[in-house]
Amino acid sequence: MDPLTQGLVGATAAQSGADKDKLRPAAFTGAISAMIADLDYYIHIPSDPLFNIEIHRQFSHSFIFIPVGALIASVLLWWLLRKYLSFKELYFYSILGYATAGLLDTFTSYGTQLFWPFLDTHFAWNLISVIDPIVTFGLILFIGFAFQKKEKKYVWIAGGWLSFFLLFGWIQHQRAESAAKSLADSRGHTIEKMVVKPTIANQLLWRVNYISDDKIYTDAVRTGLISGIDIYEGEYAPRIIIEEEFSGFEGTIMYKDLLRFKNLSENFLIRHPDQPEVIGDARYSMLPTELIPLWGVKTDTTQTENHLPFLYFRDASEEVRESFMNMLLRK
């Protein structure tokens, strides 16, 4: 999730294991420890753009790295907090905070390699958006009360607030998935693979992608708060099969990069409709009914021994925002 929410959840976890007189330093420790995990975002190899995408939410978010990450956080925080906490206490609160980083991100849609290096699987439960202002506001409020009043009851309320929205997200996800399967059935499609995930900053409007007969479909499902399902049918496009379309380039850096991007994109690969040389991730777009990818790699068959450029295609125009809000608000 976003760094602020990540820090707030880390603070909640650390405070849950702290005595009343240690709530404030515990909160600070947990918050910083949770956010440190996302420093992997800044690890780059300039000549290999995909490296940063692969490394993000990898080793630093895995279960096996929690003791190491917490130790790094403890060492960095020791000179600031040594007057308030022993190193043993500091390390304990750091572990509680750092442990939330990978788990919390797993509830979002991007995916986290929790069992690296034993598995390279990206776990993504798709229950909450990477940015959810309602969740974040509640955490700010209750953690703020706990910090100011030194009362642990607010810590449990903060945990309950987060748990409620994760449970609500699970219910909404199930409803959206059920509606999407019914839509596919009505089209006579056999689903080979499906991804259902919330759109930005809400748990009402969901993006559905599924693969059927080597085509990728995208639709939007609005689940509402309690009842009512609205479906906004979207686009479809041929799925790009790297092993077939680029078989003549096997063994080249370009081909290897395409396979890496295939793995990162869970094989939801399409061509950008306006830039056919770009292979994009069909799971992400500005609008849930469109297959204009948010990002992709640009192929150049005359430069097969160079790493592929990684490009972004964000369009936050007024027209796009209006279309999104119309679906979200059922207009």
Quick one: pLDDT at residue 311? 97
Residue 233 structure tokens:
């049918």
54, amino acid identity: E
* Whether residue 17 is found in the same domain as residue 141: yes
196, amino acid identity: V
Quick one: pLDDT at residue 226? 77
Quick one: pLDDT at residue 156? 97
Q: What is the DSSP string of 150-213?
A: --THHHHHHHHHHHHHHHHHHHHHHHHHHHHHHHHHHTTPPPSEEEEEE-TT-SSEEEEEEEET
Q: Do the domain assignments include residue 252?
A: yes
Q: Which of 9, 22, 177 is nearest to 99 (CA)?
A: 9
Quick one: pLDDT at residue 225? 86
Q: Count of domains in the chain?
A: 2
* Whether residue 8 is found in the same domain as residue 146: yes
Q: Do the domain assignments include residue 176?
A: no
* Whether residue 39 is found in the same domain as residue 136: yes
Residue 106 structure tokens:
């797993």
Q: Please give the sequence-ordered ranges of beta strands (E in DSSP) within the chain, or none if there are none.
A: 193-198, 205-212, 215-222, 230-238, 269-272, 275-281, 295-298, 310-312
By CB atoms closer than 10 A (0-12, 13-18, 19+), residue 154 is buried
* Whether residue 10 is found in the same domain as residue 142: yes
* Whether residue 18 is found in the same domain as residue 80: yes
Q: Do the domain assignments include residue 9?
A: yes
Q: Do the domain assignments include residue 181?
A: no
* Whether residue 118 is found in the same domain as residue 253: no
Quick one: pLDDT at residue 302? 95
Q: Do the domain assignments include residue 183?
A: no
- Measured between alpha carbons, how far is 70 from 174 in angstroms, rounded to an integer? 35
Contact 30, 90 (CB under 8 A): no
The number of C-alpha atoms within 13 Å of 166 and in the hemisphere containing its C-beta is: 15
Quick one: pLDDT at residue 282? 98
What b/e string do you get for 114-138 counting C-beta neighbours within 10 Å, with b at 16 or more? bebeeeeebbbbbbbbbebeebbeb
Q: Do the domain assignments include residue 174?
A: no
Query: Which of 139, 168, 197 finishes a domain?
Result: 168
Q: Do the domain assignments include residue 173?
A: no
* Whether residue 143 is found in the same domain as residue 195: no
Residue 110 structure tokens:
């991007």
* Whether residue 204 is found in the same domain as residue 131: no
Quick one: pLDDT at residue 109? 87
- Measured between alpha carbons, how far is 51 from 55 in angstroms, rounded to an integer? 6
Quick one: pLDDT at residue 331? 87
Q: Do the domain assignments include residue 58?
A: yes
* Whether residue 117 is found in the same domain as residue 232: no
Contact 218, 209 (CB under 8 A): yes
* Whether residue 163 is found in the same domain as residue 194: no
Query: Which of 168, 203, 220 finishes a domain?
Result: 168
* Whether residue 8 is found in the same domain as residue 140: yes
The number of C-alpha atoms within 13 Å of 63 and in the hemisphere containing its C-beta is: 7
Quick one: pLDDT at residue 110? 83
* Whether residue 28 is found in the same domain as residue 162: yes
Three-state DSSP at 28 gives helix
Which residues are CB-contacts of 152 (< 8 A; sequence separation ≥ 6)? 15, 16, 18, 20, 23, 146
pLDDT along the chain (331 residues), means of 10: 96 96 97 97 95 96 98 97 97 98 94 94 95 97 95 97 98 98 98 98 97 98 90 98 97 98 96 97 98 97 96 94 96 87
The model carries a pTM of 0.95
Show the domain range for 221: 189-328
